[in-house]
Structure 1
Amino acid sequence: MTTMRKARIAYDGSAIVDGSMDVRELAPALIAFSEFIESANKVLGGESKIKVMLNQDSIKKGSFDITFLLDVGILEQAKLFMDMSKNTGLDDLMTILGYGSFLGGGVFSLIKGVKGRHIKDIQQSGDKASIILDNNEAIKTDGKTLKVFLDAECRLKIEHIIKPITTTGIDRFEIRDPSGEHNKAPIESVTSEEAYLYKSPGAEEMKDEQLSKPIQQEMFVKINSVNFTDGKWRFSDNTNPAFWAKMADEEFMSKVNHGEISFTSGDMIKIRYRLIQSIKKGQLSSEYIVDKVLDFIAAPRNIKLDFDYNPNDSQ
C-alpha cells in the first residue's frame, strides 16, 4: 500500500525555451531537491522513508517542468487499518513546499520574506510561529515550515536547488501545481535577482567547552618518541593508535634532564594519565596528560643466554 503526492518544479528562461537544459546544471539541482525532501522529512519527524521520483512526462515545452512523486513507500497495512499512523508525513512536506499553506507560503516564501535579515526573536503558539526581525517586523509561518527554515542541512539543499538560476539564460525557479499540464501559475517562485537570499547561512558554530570531567587511569606504554621542547611524548600500547601526551611529571622529567634515566628502543613505562576531550573551534580535541610515571622497564640490552647473568653482580 503506497501513499503518494505530486509536486512540480520548473526552471525557466531564455536558455531553455526549447525545453532543454544543460545536464550539468540540472542533475545537481534534481539531486539537491531529492535530498532536500529527505532532509525535511527527517526534520519533521517522518517515520517512513520518502522516495523522490522523476515522472516520465516531466519535460514540458518552453520550460523544464519536473514532476515528482513523493512516495512514502509500502506501509504495514494492518497499521493503517488500525489507524495507528494517520499522518504519513507527506502532507507536512507539501505544506513546507507551499501547497495548501495559509500562513505566508512555504519555506521558499519564508526565506524570501526574511531577506537574510537578523532574527531578534521567534515566538510560537501551537503550530503557528512568528519570526521577529530587528525592526520588530513579524513574519508569520507555521511550526513545521519554521523547523525546515532553521535546519542548516535543509538550507544548504535549497541553495543547491536555486543555483541554476544564477546561470545566464535561466532566470526563474518555480514550484507549480502538478494537476494541470498547462497550468504554469507558480505557487512559489524565485528570480535570479533573489537568488542571493537563498545562500545557506551555515550551521551554528559549536561553543568551545570541555566535554567531560577527566578521570585518571593507568596503563603500560611503549616510548615511541621523546620531546624535550614542548614536553610532549609519543606513546603506544600496541593496541590503539600511537598518541602524543604531555609529560607533567616534573620529578620524572628532572631525572631525565639530569641523565639519571636514558632511553632506547623498546623501553616501557607505566603511567597515570588523564584524557581531556574538548570542543575547540568546532572540532573535537583530545589531550593526554601524564601526571605520574609509576614504573620504568628498560628493554634488554644484552644478548640472549641460556642462564641468568647480571654483569652488575660480578666483583
Structure 2
Amino acid sequence: MDDDNMKLRVVYDGPALDNNEMDVRDLAPALLALSDVFDEAARTIYGKDVRISVKVNASFRAGSFGVDLIASSSFTQHLINLFAGNAATATCNIIGLVGFGCVTGKAIKKGVTQFITWINGRKIKSVDPLPDGKVRVTIDEEEQIFDLLVLELYQNYKLRQSLERVIFTPLEREGINNFAVTLDGGESFVSISKSESILFKVGSPDDRKISESVTEKALQLIDISFNEDHKWRFNDGTSTFHALVSDKKFISDIDSQAINFAKGDILLVSLKITQYLQLGGIKTSYEVIQVKEIINPARQIDLPLEE
C-alpha cells in the first residue's frame, strides 16, 4: 500500500468570523463533506479501491477562520501500475480535478469548481471530445477546455451534494461571505464568494425513463379526485395505486354528467405504465389514457336463453 500527503488550508471569511471563531455545527459538517468530496472523486477517477483521507494537521490560523488539513490517498501497487502513475501525484490529481488547486505551471488546474462557476447556470450548447483526453465545452459563444474527468465529476450527484455542503451551506449563514482553499500557504487561493456560492446548490437529478408500456386493464375505483391533477386511486386485484386520468372525453363526460359511476365500479381502461430510474431505486407511474367501459360489479344471473 502506498500513500501520499498534501497540505491544504481551508478558509472561511466574513464579519461573523472576526474573532477567529466558527460554530462547530457549521465547521464539522463542512469538513466531513470535504472528505466525502475527495473520496467520491477518488472512486470516480481511480476506482472503488482508492480512498482519500482528510485530517486536521494544525491549530486554527489567525485571520478569518482557517484550518490546516492533510489529504492523502492510498491504493495498492497494482493500481499505481495500471494507471501509469505514482502515489506522489494521486492526491494532487484528485484535488486539481475537484478544482481546489495543484498549480500547472503558473495556472491553477481547472476542475469542477471552475466548471460550475464558468457555466453560471447556463445551458451547454455542445461538448466536443479532443484527442488528449480533454473536451471542448461551448456555452453561448464561449468555449473552454476541460479534462473529460471534470465532466464526470460534475455529473456525480453524491460529489455535488458534498460540494454543496462545503461551499453553499456555510456561506448561506449570515456573516460568512467567502470560502477559499490554498495549497501553498496563502500565496494563491481558489476562492468562492457568497454570490457565487448559490451556483453550488444542486437539485435532484432528473429521473431517467427506463421502460414504458400500454396494456388493457380492469381497475376498480377506490377513490375519486376531481382536483385538476385527476389522480385517482385504483385497485387492479393485486395492488392499490394512484393513476393520472388523462382521457379528455371521459373527463368531459363526467363534467357534463353524461355518464354515472360510483366508488367500487370497475373501469376497463388502456393503462400506460412508465418506470423511471431515480435516486434510491425505481419509480413507477400510472396513467389511464382511455376509459373503454364502465362495469357495475354487482353480479347478475344470466337469463336462461335458448341456444
User: Normalization by structure 1: what TM-score?
Assistant: 0.61
Could you tell me how far apart the structure 1 residues matched to 2:133 and 2:298 are?
69
Structure 1 unaligned spans of 5+? 178-183, 301-309
Deviations 1:247-273 (A, max 9, x none): 9697xx99x9678xx7686x6x48353
Opposite residue 8 of structure 1, the aligned amino acid is L
Deviations 1:117-159 (A, max 9, x none): 85655444222344455464x4444333344356666455434
Deviations 1:162-201 (A, max 9, x none): 3445753765522224xxxxxx23453316xx33224226
Structure 1 residue aligned with 2:101, among 98, 102, 119?
98
Does residue 173 (structure 1) correspond to residue 172 (structure 2)? The answer is no
Distance 1:295 1:114, change over 3 A: closer
Contact 2:220–2:235 (Cα < 8 Å) also in 1: yes
Counterpart position of 2:10: 10
Distance 1:161 1:229, change over 3 A: closer
Contact 2:10–2:180 (Cα < 8 Å) also in 1: yes
Does residue 145 (structure 1) correspond to residue 112 (structure 2)? The answer is no
Does residue 64 (structure 1) correspond to residue 66 (structure 2)? The answer is yes
Structure 2 unaligned spans of 5+? 277-282
Counterpart position of 2:114: 110
- Higher Rg: 1
Could you tell me how far apart the structure 2 residues matched to 1:32 and 1:24 are?
13
Contact 2:72–2:91 (Cα < 8 Å) also in 1: yes
- Partner of 2:11: helix, strand, or coil? strand
What RMSD over aligned residues (CA atoms) do the two structures have, in Å?
4.9
Contact 2:126–2:138 (Cα < 8 Å) also in 1: yes
Could you tell me how far apart the structure 1 residues matched to 2:33 and 2:179 are?
17
How do residues 224-243 of structure 1 correspond to structure 2 at under 5 angstroms?
224-225=222-223, 234-237=233-236, 239-243=238-242
- Partner of 2:199: helix, strand, or coil? coil
Does residue 127 (structure 1) correspond to residue 133 (structure 2)? The answer is yes
How do residues 236-315 of structure 1 correspond to structure 2 at under 5 angstroms?
236-237=235-236, 239-244=238-243, 246=245, 269=266, 271-277=268-274, 285-289=285-289, 291-293=291-293, 297-298=297-298
Deviations 1:188-219 (A, max 9, x none): 3316xx33224226469859x98755332445
User: Normalization by structure 2: what TM-score?
Assistant: 0.62
Counterpart position of 1:37: 38
Distance 1:289 1:3, change over 3 A: same
Opposite residue 224 of structure 1, the aligned amino acid is I
Counterpart position of 2:279: none
- Partner of 1:214: helix, strand, or coil? strand
Distance 1:212 1:159, change over 3 A: closer
Counterpart position of 2:48: 47
Could you tell me how far apart the structure 2 residues matched to 1:272 and 1:227 are?
17
Could you tell me how far apart the structure 2 residues matched to 1:228 and 1:12 are?
52
User: In the comparison of the two structures, how many residue pairs are matched?
Assistant: 277
Opposite residue 10 of structure 2, the aligned amino acid is A
Could you tell me how far apart the structure 2 residues matched to 1:247 and 1:131 are?
40
Contact 2:212–2:275 (Cα < 8 Å) also in 1: no
Distance 1:100 1:216, change over 3 A: same
Distance 1:91 1:299, change over 3 A: farther
Please state how far the C-alpha of 1:93 moved relative to its aligned partner: 0.8
Deviations 1:209-250 (A, max 9, x none): 98755332445x544246799998642145322434649697
Contact 2:224–2:263 (Cα < 8 Å) also in 1: no
Counterpart position of 1:307: none
Could you tell me how far apart the structure 2 residues matched to 1:196 and 1:101 are?
27
Counterpart position of 2:280: none
Contact 1:120–1:133 (Cα < 8 Å) also in 2: yes
- Partner of 2:28: helix, strand, or coil? helix
- Partner of 1:200: helix, strand, or coil? helix
